[in-house]
Amino acid sequence: MATTNSRTLARLMLLPSVILLLAWMIVPLCMTLYFSFIDYNLLVPGEKEFVGFLNYEFFLTDPAFFESFFNTLYLVTGVLLITICGGIGLAILLDQAIWGRNYVRIMVLAPFFVMPTVSALVWKNMLMNPVNGLFAHFAIWLGFEPIDFFAQIPLLSIIIIVSWQWLPFAALILLTAIQSLDREQLEAADLDGAGPFSKFFYIVLPHLSRAVTAVILIETIFLLSIFAEILVTTSGGPGYSSTNITYLIYTQSLLQFDVGGGSAGGIVAVIIANIVAIFLMRLIGKNLEG
Amino acid sequence: MGSITLKQVTKNFDEVNVIKPLDLEIKDGEFIVFVGPSGCGKSTLLRMIAGLEDTTSGNIEIDGVDATKTPPAKRGLAMVFQSYALYPHMTVRNNIAFPLKRAKVSPAEIESKIANAAKILNLTDYLDRKPGQLSGGQRQRVAIGRAIVRQPSAFLFDEPLSNLDASLRVNMRLEISELHKSLATTMIYVTHDQVEAMTMADRIAVFNAGIIEQVGTPLELYKKPVNKFVAGFIGSPKMNFIDAPQNENANVSCIGIRPEHLTLSTEQGTWTGTVGVIEHLGSESFLHINIEGKGTVTVKADGDCPLKYGDSIFLSAPTDKILKFDKDGLTIR
CA closest to B96 among chain A residues: A192
Residue A214, min C-alpha distance to chain B (Å) = 18
pLDDT of residue A66: 86
pLDDT of residue A18: 93
Determine the Cα–Cα distance for residues B116 and B122; give it in Å rounded to an integer: 10
pLDDT of residue B168: 85
Tell me: ipTM over 0.90. no
pLDDT tens, A174-183? 999 998 888 8
Between A285-289, B228-232, B276-280, the lowest mean confidence (pLDDT) is in A285-289
CATH code at A53-288: 1.10.3720.10
Q: Please, what sign has the CA dihedral across residues A148, A154, A160, A162?
A: positive
Whether residue A199 is predicted with pLDDT greater than 90 in this model: the reply is: no
Point out the domain boundary residue: B232, B261, B281. B232
Amino acid identity at B118? A
Q: Are A58 and A258 in contact (CB under 8 A)?
A: no
Sort B326 into a burial class: Cβ within 10 Å, 0-12 / 13-18 / 19+.
middle
Residue B295's SS3 state is: strand
Point out the domain boundary residue: B232, B250, B283. B232
Whether residue B251 is predicted with pLDDT greater than 70 in this model: the reply is: yes
Domain shared by B227 and B260, yes or no: no
Query: In A153-191, which positions are buried (b, 16+ CB within 10 angstroms) versus exposed (e)?
Result: bbbebbbbbbbbbbbbbbbbbbbebbeeebebbbbbbbb
Domain shared by B80 and B114, yes or no: yes
Amino acid identity at A206? P
Domain shared by B225 and B242, yes or no: no
CA closest to B103 among chain A residues: A193
Average pLDDT of the segment spanning B87-97: 90
Q: Are B163 and B133 in contact (CB under 8 A)?
A: no
Whether residue A1 is predicted with pLDDT greater than 90 in this model: the reply is: no
- CATH code for the domain in which residue B307 is found: 2.40.50.140
Give backbone dihedrals phi and psi of A253, rounded to 5 degrees, phi first.
Answer: -85, -30
Domain shared by B210 and B182, yes or no: yes
Contact yes or no for A191 and B87 at CB 8 A: no
Residue B303 per-residue DSSP state: T
> What are B's interface residues with A at a Cβ cutoff of 8 A?
50-52, 71-73, 77-79, 81-83, 85-90, 98-99, 102-103, 132, 146, 150
Best to test chain A binding among B70, B74, B89, B162 (most A CBs inside 10 Å): B89
Determine the Cα–Cα distance for residues A283 and A270; give it in Å rounded to an integer: 20
pLDDT of residue A148: 81
- Beta strand B271-280 with B312-316: parallel, antiparallel or unpaired? antiparallel
Residue A194, min C-alpha distance to chain B (Å) = 6
Point out the domain boundary residue: B214, B232, B250. B232
Domain shared by B174 and B193, yes or no: yes
Residues of B in contact with A194 (CB under 8 A): 73, 98, 102
Best to test chain B binding among A186, A191, A207, A213 (most B CBs inside 10 Å): A191
Tally of CB atoms within 10 A around B105: 16
CA closest to B132 among chain A residues: A290
Domain shared by B45 and B181, yes or no: yes
Q: How confident is the model at residue A133 (pLDDT cuts 50, 70, 90)?
A: confident
pLDDT of residue B203: 92
Domain shared by B271 and B219, yes or no: no
Looking at the partner chain, which of B79, B83, B89 has a beta carbon nearest the beta carbon of A191? B79
Q: Strand ranges (DSSP E) for chain B?
A: 4-13, 16-26, 31-35, 57-62, 65-66, 77-80, 154-158, 186-191, 203-208, 211-216, 240-243, 254-257, 263-265, 271-280, 284-291, 295-302, 312-316, 323-325, 331-332
Domain shared by B244 and B268, yes or no: yes
pLDDT of residue B249: 64
pLDDT tens, B177-186? 998 998 889 9
Domain shared by B143 and B269, yes or no: no
Contact yes or no for B103 and A193 at CB 8 A: yes
pLDDT of residue B306: 84
Residues of A in contact with B87 (CB under 8 A): 185, 188-189, 202-203, 206
CA closest to A187 among chain B residues: B52
Tell me the three-class secondary structure of B138-152, residue by residue.
HHHHHHHHHHHCCCC
Domain count, chain B: 2
Structural domain span for residue B293:
237-332
Whether residue A28 is predicted with pLDDT greater than 70 in this model: the reply is: yes
Q: Are B318 and B261 in contact (CB under 8 A)?
A: yes
- What length does chain A have? 290
